[in-house]
Chains A and B, each alone.
Chain A
Amino acid sequence: MTTAFYRRDRSQQPLPLSPGYKSTVLRAPVRPLHALEQTSLEQSGPALGHTPLGALDHDLIRNAATTGDALGERIYVFGRVLDENARPVPNALIEIWQANAAGRYAHVRDGYLAPLDPNFSGCGRCVSDAEGRYLFRTIKPGPYPWPNNGSDWRPAHIHLSVFGEAFSQRLITQLYFEGDPLIPLCPIVNTIPDKDAVDRLVARLDLRNQEPFDCLAYRFDIVLRGRRQTHFENRTEGL
């Protein structure tokens, strides 16, 4: 018997229609979402985090290398995957994609003039461990211009796609880097009305977890929807 998830708290989410981000104007639904009770389908999900990954999938500095390491500021991006009840989510599959250090994506549709890096594809994956911990090694992506209101600039960011234990927990988001002055100027960031919610998308510099003389570290925790708790579960055993 599975338990339902808390309803998604939309106050913490971006608005679908946010005219500052032009692409939403024709792509945001006009009608309100229709609320449904979950069934066993939404309360379960594909076990993607239980299948083996490639040994270098989490290491973007090396996983597309041909002549040497990828160019750029070497960083770890690490943290925990938790649910709303603060329980670790093990076996979560995290897929990431990002621009290179110059702000260019290795993608047929990116025409930005900054150069490609022949040793960097910008694609990575990892699975959280029993305590929900995950780790990537990569380079810090560069900011880049995009056609929105004239030339807007994206803050440096990494896209993350997360599968927890259930389809209800599905999440795709972007992480930003502490101290980036482009964050408050970004129309995509500003689709989120709640400033505290934006702050939770900012990875924190964590010098204690650096690799000395090698790699800086940024910490980013991910929170997925949690299951409703029964009173029984909250009661101390034996009472």
Chain B
Amino acid sequence: MNDRLKETPSQTAGPYVHIGTAPQAIGRPALPNQPGPVIESNTGEAIVIEGLVRDGSGAPVRDAMLEIWQADGMGRVGEYGLFARATTDFGTGTFRFRTVRPGRHAEGHAPHVAVLIFARGINIHLHTRMYFPEDREALAKDPDMRRLEPEAVATLIATEDGKTEDGLPLYRFDIRLQGENETVFFDI
């Protein structure tokens, strides 16, 4: 049964990823239906997720592209799933998504947002998850989280950071690619 084809190898998205995936970041209009950093959905509470991607020296990664994929506010995936894409700011390195708080899509699993990270120096995209700090109880029972050390789980939990200028709950999710408090990345 090993006559399967082999998956095409990945290569880094490189520093010019914006040309093909986020032209607005380099002053060009987005193409029709091109995904951006804002998800419009009336299925749940609107929230903002903001953060930095830091390298092994702690410096912000200013040329990364991130994608999120999550259940809608009612916990539905598939055709109801929500997707967005953001790039990190050339100056500050910050990324920012506006989305809705995801519902629980799988029995026993705490609600979360799947996050992919692409950048120069990342040869194959990194896959992590963002969980919510108010879900401590659900996280304690989550079968995936129970297999991780508490310090590792901590790298996956966003922090509440007040409200945005337009009054939305703001979650901070910093990603550490390497070194101290290195974010947990998954093979899923």
B-binding residues in A (CB < 8 A): 6-10, 12-16, 18, 21-31, 33-42, 44-48, 51-54, 57, 82-86, 95-97, 105-110, 121-125, 159, 161, 167-168, 170-174, 188-189, 191-192, 194, 196-198, 200-201, 222-226
Contacts and interface: CB of A to CB of B under 8 A. Distances in A.
Contacts of A25: 56, 121
A9 B40 CA distance: 36
B150 interface: no
Contacts, number: 242
Interface string B121-144: 111111000000000000000001
B81 interface: yes
A46 B121 CA distance: 26
A161 B20 contact: yes
A26 B19 contact: no
A18 B123 contact: yes
Contacts of B186: 33-36
Give chain B's interface residue range (CB within 8 Å of chain A).
35 or more
Shortest beta-carbon contacts, A-B, top 9? A23-B121, A97-B20, A46-B83, A27-B121, A14-B123, A97-B19, A51-B33, A33-B187, A26-B56
Contact of B69 (A9, A46, A105): A46
A14 B182 CA distance: 20
Interface string B45-56: 000000000011
B17 A159 contact: yes
Given A14-B11, A46-B35, A174-B11, A38 B188 contact: yes
B157 interface: no
B9 A192 contact: yes
Contacts of B183: 29
B11 A34 contact: no
22 contacts: A8-B7, A14-B11, A14-B123, A15-B123, A24-B121, A26-B56, A27-B61, A30-B178, A30-B182, A36-B186, A36-B187, A41-B106, A42-B188, A48-B83, A106-B19, A108-B26, A122-B19, A123-B23, A159-B16, A159-B17, A201-B8, A201-B9
Given A27-B121, A29-B185, A171 B8 contact: yes
A201 B120 contact: no
Contacts of A54: 31-32
A125 to B, nearest CB: 7
B184 A107 contact: no
A22 B183 CA distance: 21
Contact of B11 (A40, A52, A188): A188
A224 B77 CA distance: 21
A34 B6 contact: no
B173 interface: no
A84 B81 contact: no
A28 B121 contact: yes
Given A26-B57, A201-B8, 18 more contacts: A23-B121, A26-B55, A26-B121, A30-B56, A30-B179, A31-B184, A34-B187, A39-B105, A40-B77, A41-B69, A84-B5, A123-B31, A124-B20, A159-B13, A173-B11, A192-B11, A194-B9, A223-B6
